[in-house]
């Protein structure tokens, strides 16, 4: 019998937002404080420049904060990079690693993503490890194999202390308005769960599996109903409090 898993809805602001965007955080916090509060964990991953301010603004609310990337090293001569410890110091509880935009724009390999996830865990952060196939890979019938390889290489062996989150984000669905069919999402998430159970036995049961890629108020309820979908990683629709709140309410 599958364990009851608290859903997680995480917003990925990407390279969007200056100080003015914090007004959306206050608005969302106010909405989330109505009634008995959200049924899920709510995380916002703003650009690094806003992390400290957002963490402070969200303190005492239902919103947690996270980074969008971290360097695998603790510190050192890495101009422009940010360590997991620095994110934690700025109030983060989570960090996205291996997002497809980083894999593509910064040539990040599975091995590098795994080391970033390990750095996150060492700093007390929960890594949200992203995987997902391209459109050509889906059309070529190798989406399952691609995702399995990414999981094998990107997920650390050791994570018992803090846990990990996996986000399945088909690259062709990100920012395009396209989404896989519900059946395809269900099949992929079942497959990911099976791989985690095989590799980590019982520990794999509790890992939150998020779907990401054009999740919005109109499709969130249907996607979040799918067995083995334990939440969402939301880009565009997380920028506005009203849209993000509608998705959180669907979880």
Contact between 171 and 135 (Cβ < 8 Å): yes
Tell me which of 108, 133, 137, 169 binds ligand PGA, using CB under 6 A: 169
218 binds ligand PGA (CB under 6 A): no
- Whole-angstrom Cα distance, residue 214 to residue 62? 24
Q: Is 142 in contact with 184 (CB distance < 8 Å)?
A: no
CB of 213 to ligand PGA, least distance (A): 5
Contact 83, 123 (CB under 8 A): yes
Binding test (CB under 6 A) with ligand PGA, winner from 180, 204, 213, 231: 213
Q: Is 169 annotated as catalytic? A: yes
Q: Helix, strand, coil: what percent of the chain each, to 5?
A: 45, 15, 40
Euclidean distance between CA atoms 137 and 122, whole angstroms: 34
CA distance 51 to 47: 7
Catalytic option among 24, 108, 118, 169: 169
Nearer to ligand PGA, 131 or 234 (CB): 234
Asked if residue 165 binds ligand PGA (CB under 6 A), the reply is: no
Q: Binders of ligand PGA among 9-48, rule CB under 6 A? A: 12
Tell whether residue 234 is a contact of ligand PGA (CB under 6 A).
Answer: yes
231 or 235, CB closer to ligand PGA?
235
CB of 166 to ligand PGA, least distance (A): 13
Binder to ligand PGA among 29, 215, 248, 251 (CB under 6 A)?
Answer: 215
Tokens encoding 199: 């590799």
For the record, the structure tokens of 26 come out as 């206050």
Catalytic residues, by residue number, are 99, 169
């Amino acid at each position: 019998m599958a364990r009851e898993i608290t859903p997680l809805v995480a917003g990925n602001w990407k390279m969007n937002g200056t100080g003015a965007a914090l007004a959306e955080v206050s608005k969302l916090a106010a909405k989330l404080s109505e009634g008995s509060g959200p049924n899920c964990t709510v995380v916002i991953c703003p650009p690094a420049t806003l992390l400290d301010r957002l963490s402070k603004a969200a303190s005492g609310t239902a919103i947690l904060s996270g980074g969008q990337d971290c360097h695998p090293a603790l510190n050192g001569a890495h101009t422009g990079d940010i360590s997991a410890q620095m994110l934690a110091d700025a109030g983060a509880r989570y960090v996205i690693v291996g997002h497809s935009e980083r894999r593509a724009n910064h040539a990040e390999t599975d091995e590098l993503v795994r080391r970033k996830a390990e750095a996150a865990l060492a700093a007390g952060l929960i890594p949200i490890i992203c995987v997902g196939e391209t459109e050509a890979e889906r059309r070529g019938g190798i989406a399952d194999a691609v995702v399995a390889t990414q999981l094998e290489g990107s997920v650390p062996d050791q994570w018992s202390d803090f846990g990990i989150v996996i986000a399945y984000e088909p690259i062709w669905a990100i920012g395009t308005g396209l989404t896989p069919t519900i059946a395809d999402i269900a099949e992929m998430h079942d497959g990911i769960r099976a791989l985690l159970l095989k590799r980590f036995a019982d520990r794999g049961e509790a890992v939150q599996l998020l779907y990401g890629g054009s999740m919005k108020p109109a499709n969130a309820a249907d996607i979040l109903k799918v067995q083995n979908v334990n939440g969402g990683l939301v880009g565009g629709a997380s920028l506005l409090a009203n849209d993000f709140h509608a998705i959180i309410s669907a979880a």
